[in-house]
Structure 1
Amino acid sequence: MEELFNKLLQVNVRCKDCDERKANIRVAIELQLTTSPVHKKDLLVRLTDDADPYFLFRLSISEEDFQSLKVQQGLLIDFSSFPQKFIDLLNLCMSEQESDSPRFLLQLLCQAPALDSSATFSVVETNAFKHLNHLSLRLLQGTDKEIKDYLVVCLSSLKGEKQTLEIKLKKTEDDLSRQLSYTQQTLSEKTRELDKLRSEWTSQTSSLSSRHSQDMMSEREKALEVQTRLQQQNEQLRLELESAHKKSTSQLQSKVSELETSNRELTERKYKNESTIRDLTIKVAGAEEECQRSKQQILSLRRENGTLDAECHEKERLVSQLQMRIAVLEQEIKDKDQLMCRTKEVLEATQQQKESVEGHAESKELQIRKLDATVKSLSEELIKANSIIKNLQGELRGLLGKIKVKNTVTVSQEKVLQETSEKLQNTKKELQDAQQQLVTKDELVSKLKEQLETTVQKLNESREVLKTNENVISWLNKQLNEKQLSRTPQGPESFETPSVLPGTAGLRAQFQPKPGVPLMKAVDISPFEQCTMQPASTHSREPAGLESKYFEKRDDSIPLHGLLSNLQQKEFSQRASKHSLPSAYFSA
């Protein structure tokens, strides 16, 4: 047995239907080592009252019990460091028990009207918001045998203390008697010495008083001589100071006359300077007026210069626009030849992509079916777990009823009570395990649901891609057929193209392949080809068949040269005719 803590602490005791009271209770913490069959450590917690010998509550915590306590109360420490942390909490309570509003409190709660059954010993931290329960231990009241053992231990310790006190008393009596005899002897000796010292002191005081009177007379004579000398010296100093004072006053008067003359000269200079300052201020005001006039002239000249610069810029802009038109017309003629070969390549690539996307969609459908089967199996397992929990709860209720009946039985059936408490703890552990399994299964179900959602989203995206690809293929087929039909010789007006939507200089169709599908070449469609490839009938107003994601710019796409800006499109109007298409590049 190793005693770790044994101190008196102030505890708030509360019973059922009773007022709360404060009591001084001794808290003892001991570490017990058991060697059979395996070396184990058990922590013993014992509460006793020095005033009440029948007050005994105890609890033994093994490593296995600590694990269940750790799970129940959410502790973050191991069994090895638990005793020290518990002792630290008790020391905190002891340090603050004398304050008016202590932060840490010890509470002993009992469900019975008196302290006759088990009680919970808890360490509580109080703040402005709530009471935080750091640790709560369920202590059992000591049996008759344990109380007798405790009283025997108390008696043996009291007897030991009594014997030690009696031995100490005898030793102190012997020491005191020896000290008394020794002090009496020393007292008699000291009184003799005192008498001798008194006689010597009287003789010395008489001789010293006579000497002192003689010294006083001699010192008085010396003091009179010193006073006469000091008076003579003071008269000499006074005469010297008077002569020095007269000289200094004559010098100061001469200085005052000189300063008055200089002051007159300075006042005359001051008046002259003030007159000159007035003349200069008049001149400065005239100069400022001239400066403001010159500033206004400068501002007018700057405005004229700005208008001239703007006219120059406009003329230069018109020249650059005309040059851009010429370059665009030349580039469009070159791009028409390249577009036909690109459209053929795009058709072949879209057909390959369609086949690969169909295979990918079939594999995703198989995965979704598998996931549905796993979700059904998990739901069945959850139903089984719920039924197991209900059975365990019924068993718990039955066990609690048995415990209430067995509490009325005599002391001889306490062993049966211990067995039932062990069964209860086992069932509680099984309940906690089942709840943990439930939580893990719920997490699994949520993860599977997330996977289902992601797969469904991917399926929808793949289906959308398929639809857009089919639309693109049908649109390109239509354009190719119309291109072949319209290859007859045309006039110069047939090369005009419709105006492009503001903000888009030309359509750029790009196809991004899925993994496992060969990369396709991006096709850039200029505004001219876009208008020529549209169907002849404009009354139907069908959509072009391409989504907005195919118009995004990519690094691997082939750019068109000579695209017009929005400003150029606004400057030139559209031309409309019955047999030819409108153009965005030719002026009206």
Structure 2
Amino acid sequence: MEELFNKVLQVNLRCRDCEERKTNVRVTIELQVTTSPVHKRDLLVRITDDIDPYFLFNLAISEEDFQSLKVQQGLLIDFASFPQKFIDLLNLCISEQTSESPRFLLHLSCQSPVLEGPANFSVIETNAFKHLNHLSLRLSQASDKEVKDYLAVCLSSLKAEKHVLEMKLKTTEDDLTRQLNYAQQTLSEKTKELDKLRSEWTTQTSSLSSLHSQELQLERDKALELQTRLQQQTEQLRQELESAHKKSSHQLNSRLTELEASCRELTEKKYKNESAIRDLKIKLVGADEECQHLKQQVLSLRRENSTLDTEVHEKDRLVSQMQMRVAVLEQEVKDKDQLMNRTKEVLEATQQQKESVEENAESKELQIRKLEATVKSLSEELIKANGIIKKLQGEVRTLVGKIKVKNTVTVSQEKILQETSEKLQSVERDLQSAQQQLITKEEQISKLKEQLEATVQKLNETKEVLKTNENVINWLNKQLNEKQLSRKAQGLESLENPAVSTTTAGLGFYPQTAKPVVSPMAAAGISLTDEHLGKSSNRQIGDSAGLDSKYFEKRDDCISIYGLSSNPRQREFPQSTKPSIASAYFSA
């Protein structure tokens, strides 16, 4: 099952005794190929509504149904190109949906007041003059079982999509939580360092203040007497301690600013990581687009495979035609046997009528004149038959030429298939990074190769069947030639019989009412010995009957004439000849 089209379209809905309204439906087109027991392709058209799950209309179009549809609606395309043309019409309708006055419209009409039973799905082109109906398909409403199957398939596909989305969401959440934990961990480490520095700063200040107070107390104790001098020294010491205190506080403040800057850098890194995640998502979307492009290439290869299938069907049709031709040749052989039996009966009748012919010798001259007229008509008919034989030979040559042309076309198509397989291999080398996502595509390509090998095997089998048919035709031609030789030999024996030759002066010829059915190969395969025997037999008949020898000369482009009776009694019972069977390969 191959899905060719699946989109939501705007449709004008018409029901009986109801106003026309617009609604959105989903149109799905699928191609189903079955190989067992017979290679068969069906086009499945399904109309559904995403809002109403019970809205379902189906249509299955096989190759036989398409032929009747093609005749009814006057289509000019074949079944292989029909799906793509139908999809092109639907795309035109999609492009015209947003315009105020669309050119291409879709109509879904039903004869019942409620949308039930069969419905007509039509693609209509509107212009200033009239509405042109490009295509009309009669869809049938789905049964309860089909609706249940469709809902089950939809539920399974939704579950699969949900599972895939949950997996993607889980992976993204894991990545983000891992990155967030790392950022929080680094932030806690930095805050710990900051607290440690602050505690060190407080301890240093407290130690310095305690030392300063102790020194002051000592100096006060020692400098009771030298207070003035010590006051100066204490002031100097105080100034020095204040400067040192200021320096240490300044250093701590600078360290604090550095830690705040590092915290800002960490936040900036966090934002950069988020932007990198967005870029990776964009790259993932690009990879999906490349995957869609590869899907389109696979679809084009499948279309080429479908064209090859049509050519194989044509070859099968040629094989069936050759089999029909063999059947026609077998029927011709049977007709020849019947003619031989009838000629034997005619010879027996002539022997029985010898006595009556001797009594009617006075009417010989009148009969001879009538015989000359009949011989002339027979010669004209034989010339026409030889012309038909030449035409049939020309048709056989043209058929052989067409078969050679088709063989060259198949060879060129095999070369094209080899080139496409090389291109696919190069694409696989370029997409090594996306091999995990394209495993399913590689399996489809391998299936296509197997189908191509199967088609090549079928072509070889058809060639072998054609060779066997040619051998059968040659064998039948040989059998026909042998029967003609035996028939001519029997005619010579009857002419050379002395009992017959004494009374052949009163014999005539029956006019041949039906054209002999002779195959072109059998007519072309007459040997020189047959011509020599025919000339000798004609010469004996002419001498015995007293006719002019020009009516019995054996021509190179005509068929031999058999002796027929000219007795009036014999004319009352004309020879019943079987009409030639019309053939599908040889024109009458």
Q: TM-score range by the shorter chain?
A: 0.3 to 0.5
Higher relative contact order (CA 8 A, sep 6+): 2
TM-score norm. by structure 1 comes to 0.32
Larger radius of gyration: 1
TM-score norm. by structure 2 comes to 0.32
